[in-house]
Structure 1
Amino acid sequence: MSTSQDSTDQGPADAGNFTRRTLLGTAGAGLLVGAGVGVAGAGVAYAGAGGDDRPVTGVLGSTRLPFRGDHQSGITDPPQARVQLAAFDLAGGVGRDGLRSLLQRWTWAAERLTAGQPAEESDNQIALDLGPCSLTVTVGFGATMFDKAGLADRRPAALEPLPAFPGDALDPARGDGDLIVQICADDALVTVHALRVLQRLATGTATLRWQAAGFSRTPGAASRKITARNLMGQVDGTNNPRPGEENFNKVYYGGGSNDPQPWLGGGSFLVYRRIRMLLDNWEALPVDRQERVIGRRKSTGSPLSAAADSGERTKVDLAAQNPDGSLKIPADAHIRVAAPASNSGAAMLRRSFSYHDGLLPDGSPDAGLLFIAFQGDPREGFIPVQRNLSRADSLARFLRHEASGMYAVPPSAPLGGYLGQQLLEAR
């Protein structure tokens, strides 16, 4: 879990020669110097003439999540309402020095943006009236980055291309990449603004490879306490692990139990999958059939192995039977096939968002899930689970996996330093 550390307008001190002067000299992109916009001021908006005249409380917009801590933010923080995912490829000849400069610029900008402060002198004003809105910026490294930056000997062994899974129909142009940025916030304008800033700061160093926008439930919008639903109407993420549980850090951080790279200690691995849902086919199923495909009741999220009103947190009993001896949770139900008990204990920390990008040429919706999962080693997490799901999950016939990527997520930027410093300055 991230822990708060003070952010100032002074910029980083001297770690890795990461100073304001360095950034201004290398970025060439108008990084702000000496701005005095405070978090409290940034969190309050005022309606102008002809605008929205409803009372403004600023509560949602003023929420600030710490940028620095033991781990990067945007992993164990409560899920926000919006996400912008973007992957970048390094330009030819950038090398280690160019990568370092880019990560320094991104760190400086992200720390200001997450505090609700402008990161450029000539801000585009997309989010001018908004506060930090729980903004988090999480950066990861693709396998190809290590070769381009001359860091092949520091690439984690677990950071290999994901194997081909049955049913995959992947578009290489919408997956992979040298760098990934996960930008989350409770307001769409805040996420787009942050992406535009980072993209401008990458000019000449890295180009955008692909981008995806997603959404989830807005905090406070639900009438009762229940996990957010996906576009199939099912609660999604009920059994996600929680910080503080036994072995949480070992399973989800550390950089791989079999071949840890010292620089990745406190880091994680991010697996991304763009999963289109065949919603027309799914919605044609009766609700009781949908529930058997998933293994949970749609209304309450409670498992089929328990009473209807037991609640979604009720422990799943995979051995429970109906009076006729059949399994209450079918053998091919999603929650059974995905359960750690069905995968030798494999587990992931899921942080997914829905997407809806209009219609495909055949008239069906281009909609589904931007699947995001963090784990200490994908060989012990995502890979065995997805292999099992692709073979035995009844939900698979309603899904199409269309893009994919895996990235090593470094730990948080050290105090006064920048993201990736542990990798780039390792002895």
Structure 2
Amino acid sequence: MAERSIPEARTAAGAGKDADAASRAPSAQGASRGVSRRTLLGTAGATGLVLGAAGGAVGYAAAPSGATPLTSVGSDRAMFHGKHQPGITEGLQAKGHLVAFDLAAGAGRKETAALLRRWSATAERLMAGEPSAHDDTDVARDAGPSSLTITFGFGHSFFTRTGLEKQRPVSLDPLPDFSSDRLDPSRSNGDLWVQIGADDALVAFHALRAIQKDAGSAARVRWQMNGFNRTPGATAHPMTTRNLMGQIDGTRNPKPSDADFDRRIFVPASGSNDPAWMRNGSYAVVRRIRMLLDDWEKLTLHAQENVIGRRKSDGAALSGGTEKTPMDLDKTDAKGEYVVPVNAHARITRPDQNGGAAILRRPFSFHDGIDADGVPDAGLLFICWQADPLRGFVPLQRKLDRGDALSKYIRHEASGLFAVPGGAAEGEYVGQRLLEG
């Protein structure tokens, strides 16, 4: 995953009341919304911090009258238009929402095209720090884009519902059954899938609500899940995130700088068996993985590290070195036993142990409460990206299914596979080449 920098500036606590009042003041044109999110964004990063006249209060210098600049977290912006959709290669975001929709009875290709046109317009506005075009809820009124990304995908059933079966990619064939699956059909699959991520919880919720409202009568929510990650700047220096088991998670993720990154993650523009509308797109596997934390936390630190194959403190392989040091799979201890156990999760998932199979993991943790017995419903909203799930996720999961030491402490409870088309060009909406091709 791309690592995020620590924010360079924070709004002074004492300025909160003044900033709130300014953001609600009428604009020069008399608009009732006051200072827009784009106006706030425009002032971000333009000035540094200076000491106030009294020497003790810290404020922002040279800010336009009636507006206070955003901190670096609030001003970070992802682009909607591009070669690929947003929300794939960006760094982990602090808050996420996943939602799947089923098309309503009678809604077909025409209605779906209108829906994707609405969704794309809304995504473009919100990612730019602007309010929704219609009936905005004001939830994100005072915030900037906060790295908001909105990503759209199509499920296997979508193509039957819209009469586009001939355009359905072979790579979208249903995933095989795995012995560790305990899947709830009502929380799996779906005609349409939307991934929302942001570094501010209100910005993310605002986008979720806008997408739901835009669906109108064309589609209904099938399932919805909420997740989170560590907030940017929460650590002393940029580092790989931790999951709810306390393990550093994502050390060996492919990086955009890798020579073969695009080949592994995105459908090529030519030479692929996928239909033309999937060029520069990717496939998302989504799994709700429950972590059996009570069982996990009963293990000793040594036992936990043997399950994963890495040190809990810094993510380094048990064979030695730092987090980034390549794992020595042949290293043995004084008893002649492998230092990294043969069933360790990190050993089994290494690409060089799986014919080069690789996935780009971009998950969120989740916690959906505590049951009557005090057991947390918590774990990982696993999201992985690849050019072909039959060469990415499937072989890795089959191997994990046969002998991963971690399997005893997790349970796969929901699953979905979605075709995520390439990014929309200026003037296009997501999926236009499929729906109007």
Q: TM-score, length-normalised on structure 2? A: 0.84
2:117 matches 1:104? yes
Worse-superposed segment, 320-329 or 375-384 = 320-329
* Amino acid of the structure 2 residue aligned with 1:414: A
Aligned mates of 1:196, 1:35 — CA distance in 2: 22
Cα separation, 1, equivalents of 2:259 and 2:347:
22
More displaced, 397-406 or 336-345?
336-345
Match of 1:228 in 2: 241
Judged with a 3 Å threshold, the aligned counterparts in structure 2 of structure 1 residues 257 and 322 are, in CA distance, closer, same or farther, namely: farther
Structure 2 counterparts to residues 296-307 of structure 1, below 5 A? 296-306=310-320
**For 2:427, which of 404, 409, 416 is the aligned residue?**
416
1:121 Cα deviation after fit: 3.6
Write out aligned runs for 1:247-286 (5 A). 247-254=260-267, 259-286=273-300
- Structure 1, unaligned runs of 5 or more: 2-33, 46-52
Residue in structure 2 matched with residue 353 of structure 1 by the alignment: 364
Q: CA deviation at 1:62?
A: 1.1
Q: Which moved more, 1:58-67 or 1:329-338?
A: 58-67
- Matched with 2:5 is none
Q: Distance in 1 between matches of 2:155 and 2:286?
A: 11
Q: Which residue of 1 aligns with 2:228?
A: 215
Mean alpha-carbon deviation: is it higher for 94-103 or for 121-130?
121-130
Q: What secondary structure sits across from 1:390 in the alignment? A: helix
Q: Does the 8 Å CA contact 2:37/2:143 hold for their aligned counterparts?
A: no
1:344 equivalent in alignment to 2:355: yes
Q: Distance in 2 between matches of 1:222 and 1:160?
A: 41
- Separation of aligned partners in 2, 1:317 and 1:83: 35
Question: Gaps (5+ residues) in structure 2?
Answer: 2-32, 45-56, 60-67
Residue 213 of structure 2 corresponds to which residue in structure 1? 200
User: Where does residue 20 of structure 2 map in the other structure?
Assistant: none
Please say if 1:132 is aligned against 2:131: no
| Shift, 1:362, TM fit | 3.6
Aligned mates of 1:274, 1:72 — CA distance in 2: 23
Deviation at 1:158? 1.1
Aligned-residue offset at 1:44: 7.4
**Where does residue 38 of structure 2 map in the other structure?**
39
**Per-residue Cα deviation, 1:119-142 (whole angstroms, up to 9, x for no partner):** 134311111111100000010100
Deviation at 1:316, TM superposition (A): 1.3
Question: Following the alignment from structure 2 to structure 1, what is the Cα–Cα distance between the partners of residues 58 and 186?
Answer: 43
| 1:369 to 2:369 alignment | no
SS state at 2:286 partner: strand
Structure number, greater radius of gyration: 2
Is contact 1:43-1:130 (8 Å) kept? no
Matched residue type, 2:137: N
% identical aligned pairs: 50
After TM superposition, list the pairs within 5 Å mapping 1:1-400 onto structure 2: 37=36, 39-42=38-41, 57-254=70-267, 259-306=273-320, 310-400=321-411
The one-letter code of the counterpart of 1:349 is: L
Measured against aligned partners, the alpha-carbon deviations of 1:204-244 in whole angstroms (never above 9, x if no partner) come to 00001100000001011112332100000001101100112
* C-alpha contact (below 8 Å) 2:285/2:385 kept by paired residues: yes
Amino acid of the structure 2 residue aligned with 1:72: Q
Structure 1 stretch 393-402 or stretch 248-257: which is displaced more? 248-257
1:5 aligns with none
Instruction: Count the aligned residue pairs.
Output: 384
1:43 Cα deviation from its structure 2 partner = 7.2
Question: How far is 1:259 from its partner?
Answer: 2.2
Q: Which amino acid aligns with 1:219?
A: P
User: Which residue is equivalent to 1:20?
Assistant: none
AA in 1 matched with 2:387: G
Distance 1:195 1:44, change over 3 A: farther
Cα distance in structure 2, aligned partners of 1:340 and 1:206: 39
Q: Distance in 2 between matches of 1:375 and 1:74?
A: 13
1:261 is displaced (CA, Å) by: 1.1
SS at match of 1:401: strand
Q: Contact 1:43–1:58 at 8 Å: present in 2 too? A: no
**Structure 1 range deviating more: 379-388 or 58-67:** 58-67
Amino acid at match of 1:39: R
